[in-house]
Every structure is written in C-alpha cells, then in structure tokens.
Homo-oligomer: A and B are copies of this chain.
Amino acid sequence: MPHLQELVAQFREHGYKMTPQRRAIIEVIAGCTALHPTAEQIHDRVTVRMPDISRATVYNTLRELVATGQIFELSLGLGMRHYELSHDEHAHLVCVKCGEIRDVPGDLGRVAMLFHQDDGFRSIRHEVTISGYCAACDPARS
C-alpha cells in the first residue's frame, strides 16, 4: 500500500475535495501495483467495501487522477483502458491471447531520443507496448 497518504495529499493540493469514495478508489489503485486494473475492475473492488459507489464516480476520479499526473492511462489494444500508478519508466509486454500485462523496466528517455523531431511537437508521455505471446500461450511452443 505505497504512498497512500502522499497520493491523498497530492490530490488535495490540486484543489479536489477528498471524499470517502475518492479515498477508496485511491486505496484500491495503490493496492494494485502490478495489476494494471481497468475502470471496471477498480469499481468491482471498491464495491466490496462501498456497495453504492457508481461507475460514474470511478470514471470521474480516474480522469482526475490522470489529470494530476498521479496515474497513467494505458491503451494496450485490448479494447479497454488500463490504469497504473505513475512510477519508474517501463514498457508493457501484452499477451494477445490471455491479456496478461507485464512491466519491463527500461529507459523511455532513450526511446524519446530515437524518435525526437524538431518540429514544435511537445511530448508529454511515451508509451511502449510490446504485443506477443507469453510463454504459456505461445502456439509455436512444443
């Protein structure tokens, strides 16, 4: 459960009010470090302790957490968005069969340099997604 107080404080500093719902959502995300949950998965988990929370509140809070830069939104080609706490730079391995998502640490700054252009485009974020088959799903394996 890393940085929980810090996440709550940061969120407040951006001018948002802290409500039980938002706190619960932040707690769930903070407790999911390796899971890249979807909005639906976050909603399910929060619902266990807070049965009346609405999807709208989850989506709203996720949008706000993205706006503050506290979480990242991932488009991994799986048809829905995944979320993760902002942390050290890494790429994502995505199994196209089972949907498993794994972090691979690495230097995104290096990637930025490989593709840099001097044309006024100001980049905010680099996303590196490597699609393929995980060992368990690889059809080419004996």
Q: A75-B76, A123-B93 are in contact. Are A104 and B129 (CB under 8 A)?
A: no
- Is there contact, CB below 8 Å, between A112 and B130? yes
- Give the size of the chain A interface in residues (CB under 8 angstroms): 38
Interfacial chain B residues near A17, Cβ < 8 Å:
none
13 contacts between A and B (CB under 8 A): A75-B129, A93-B123, A95-B121, A106-B114, A106-B115, A107-B114, A111-B114, A119-B135, A121-B132, A123-B130, A123-B132, A124-B133, A126-B130
| Chain A residues packing against B (C-beta within 8 Å) | 73, 75-77, 91, 93, 95-96, 102, 104, 106-107, 110-112, 114-115, 117, 119-135, 138, 140-141
